[in-house]
Amino acid sequence: MPDTFNCGDSGQHSEGMESMDGAAVVEKCKFASFIERIASEVSVVTPVPRGSGEFSFAEVQDASSLQNPSYRPTLNSPKKYFLPPQEVLFRFTGKSGTSVRGGEEVQYEQDIESPRRVLLAVRPCDLAAIQRMDEVFRAAEPDHHYLQRRQRSIIIGLDCPEPCDEFAFCAAMGTSEVDEGFDLLLVDLDDVWYVRIGTKRGEEFLAECPGVRAAGGDDVREVQRVQKAKERAFERCAQDLPVPREDLPELLRRAEESPVWEEYGERCLGCGRCNLVCPTCFCFDVEDIVALDLGKGERRRRWDACTLLEFAAVAGGENFRRDRADRLRHMFQHKGRYAPERYGELFCTGCGRCARTCLAGIIPTEVYGALREDVKDGVDET
């Protein structure tokens, strides 16, 4: 297999990684054998059942999980492979007692754990989320830890024939269909996979799989039939927002002082679960662990959550968002208003993970509905 894991940037927008307009077809059994061979050489991660109908991304040795592609979304999104829940950013050593303040005598060591990896069967909503994360970690100050892992990963998406459950509102958020954000995208055509080729790297990867042929007219007609069925299946999901998604920033602006935040803040436990499972939440905390003699130490980061009490706490005992209502409002405002202002995209893909996991039953579409009721004037209904 050529080293397709190291061919520069991981995204669609970089030189040498331009999106290709192509598709192929491969028998499922041949693709499964190919993945099994690949798994002996690199890490292959895909959703696997965890009991009670739950799934999580984990390393596998074969593609047997693709036999039953109708899984519920994983509890955690695949972002954990690019931004681990916690990691060491660098270690430093120096002369005992003097060195940690910086200067020539300090030695830094950076060891980024980034195995070659194939992410298999990533859903369209998560592909859309990865694109947003890419934007964050490329912008301003490129994050080498994140970007190195992205560069060494191949992403194989899996199209959804229908919404995964009642919590998903991906179609309303425009993420049930994706044209980019994957190296390859699998569409289920019974005995074969119709494979959309998203990048040159994806094409090179697929070329190593035996039995692949270019998609013909019959394949294209079949995938169009599947596509039509998908559109019908997603009709309800596409109606799940009380306003068009383009109007969410304006709705949130007008609802800045809405009493709805107090109402939901009363119910919210401030537990942070919604942030932690969200595929587009990217906040992290950084801490330095330093030896008592100041001669060595390490800088670590770990996921943080804006719904947690300590998130906005600062030195001196102040906390800018002590109330749960303020923290909940901030999370919604960030996803639906601040992030679009900065990155040009809503930072919610409608994956429904937050609603599925919230012990207080707080569901984003219901919150938007309550805000819409409270701020009726000037925001169009869908």
d(CA 119, CA 156): 6
What DSSP state is assigned to residue 200? H
Compare residues 129 and 206 and give the one whose CB is closer to ligand SF4.
129
Compare residues 333 and 349 and give the one whose CB is closer to ligand SF4.
349
- Let me know how many helices (H) and strands (E) the chain has, helices first: 13, 12
If phi > 0 it is left, if psi is from -120 to 50 it is alpha, else beta; for residue 97 that is: left
- Do strands 117-122 and 153-158 pair parallel, antiparallel, or not at all (unpaired)? parallel
- 3-state DSSP call for residue 51? strand
Q: What's the closest the beta carbon of residue 129 comes to ligand SF4, in angstroms?
A: 6
Compare residues 274 and 370 and give the one whose CB is closer to ligand SF4.
274
Compare residues 94 and 336 and give the one whose CB is closer to ligand SF4.
336
Compare residues 66 and 363 and give the one whose CB is closer to ligand SF4.
363
| CA 146 to chain CA centroid, nearest Å | 13
The residue written with tokens 């919210």 in the block is 268
Cβ–Cβ under 8 Å, residues 336 and 318: no
Q: Is 365 exposed, middle or buried (0-12, 13-18, 19+ CB in 10 A)?
A: middle
Site for ligand SF4, rule CB under 6 A: 268-274, 277-280, 307, 335, 348-354, 358-360, 362, 364
Q: What's the closest the beta carbon of residue 304 comes to ligand SF4, in angstroms?
A: 13
Q: What's the closest the beta carbon of residue 102 comes to ligand SF4, in angstroms?
A: 38
Q: What's the closest the beta carbon of residue 306 comes to ligand SF4, in angstroms?
A: 9
As given in the structure block, the two tokens for residue 8 are 């520069």
Q: What's the closest the beta carbon of residue 155 comes to ligand SF4, in angstroms?
A: 18
